[in-house]
Amino acid sequence: MHKSVKVILIVFLLTACATTPISDRQALILIPQQQEILFGKQAYKKALKDQKDSENAHLNQVLRRVGQRIAEVSAMPKLDWEFRLIESEDKNAFALPGGKVAVYTGMLAICKNEAGLATVLSHEIAHVIARHGAQRMSQQLLLTGAMIGANLSLRNNTQRNIIMSALGLGVLYGITLPFSRGDEGEADQIGLVYMARAGYDPEEAIHFWQRFSEAKGDKNPPEWASTHPADKTRVKGLRTYLSRAKYSYQNIKLKYGLGETFNLPAPADKNIPEKPKPVPGVSVEALSPN
């Protein structure tokens, strides 16, 4: 092989392979980080275009405080981190390359407290740190044989669908591309360590996932569930990763435990079971439990 070809090949492979912090997993990434960050920022704007920010000053402050604490202990503390609380019953949350994070108020009921919120945020931030979006884009681009490089753009419909679904926002365009088991496990593993380093009791992550799993049976199942299956495989993985996170937690000076428990506005009337209505011939008392 010609020497210069060899050099080019080596440079290409060095760019393409990245080692993920905490999990030490090798990742194939064909998208330059600056471009990934630009996509993240553009996608954030698109996703939140018609959304309303929450006016609850206190909850906004709590979200920023938990988010900043996690961002600071992450491998990318210098990103332009932004945390927005969206007023919506949707149970959803996401983080995008470039440090753009959104949590919907509907999700807070499942989070219940700061440590629950830290579970969601650290998991989502872990997807950003591990560059799962860029990895998924790389895979999709290789599969479809699309152009890799400077020509990639959100303005092209096919490429936009690839980019948005790779970032976990495909739902906006009617496509769900769930994160793979491997990516989910990795985000859990990294997330647990980050939440512990940020001062939140990692044990609460197990309780959060239990609550989340129960909420799947609700009338409005969490949107987050379409990309985040809460099943036995996940819980098993979480238990495996927990000991390392607990070790980090023991060695951290500033501990917040579960943090503040959220004082959320009462759920809308429709969630309260209706009083039994009289049925002709049957008394209401007969319908009520003893």
With tokens 């996703």, the residue in question is 47
Min separation Cβ 250 and Zn ion, Å: 26
Query: Given the complex with Zn ion, which of 84 and 136 has the nearer CB atom?
Result: 136
Residues binding Zn ion (CB under 5 A): 179, 187
**Residue 66 near residue 81, CB atoms below 8 Å:** no
Q: How far apart are the first and last CA of the chain?
A: 85
Min separation Cβ 211 and Zn ion, Å: 16
Amino acid at 120: V
* Long-range residue pairs from 15-24, CB within 8 A, at least 24 positions apart, any chain: 18/131, 20/129, 20/130, 20/131, 20/186, 20/190, 21/75, 21/129, 21/190, 22/75, 22/189, 22/190, 22/193, 23/130, 23/186, 23/189, 23/190
Q: Which residues of 25-51 are buried (b: 16+ CB within 10 A; e: fewer)?
A: bebebbbeeebbbbbbbbbbeebeeee
Query: Given the complex with Zn ion, which of 134 and 187 has the nearer CB atom?
Result: 187
Calculate ∠ Cα 35-40-43, nearest 5°: 120
| Active-site residue, selected from the candidate residues 114, 124, 204, 223 | 124
Min separation Cβ 200 and Zn ion, Å: 18
Query: Given the complex with Zn ion, which of 20 and 256 has the nearer CB atom?
Result: 20
User: Catalytic residue at 124?
Assistant: yes
Min separation Cβ 27 and Zn ion, Å: 15
Query: Given the complex with Zn ion, which of 209 and 249 has the nearer CB atom?
Result: 209
Query: Given the complex with Zn ion, which of 179 and 194 has the nearer CB atom?
Result: 179
Min separation Cβ 289 and Zn ion, Å: 40
Burial of 198 (0-12, 13-18, 19+ CB in 10 A): buried
Which residues are part of the catalytic machinery? 124
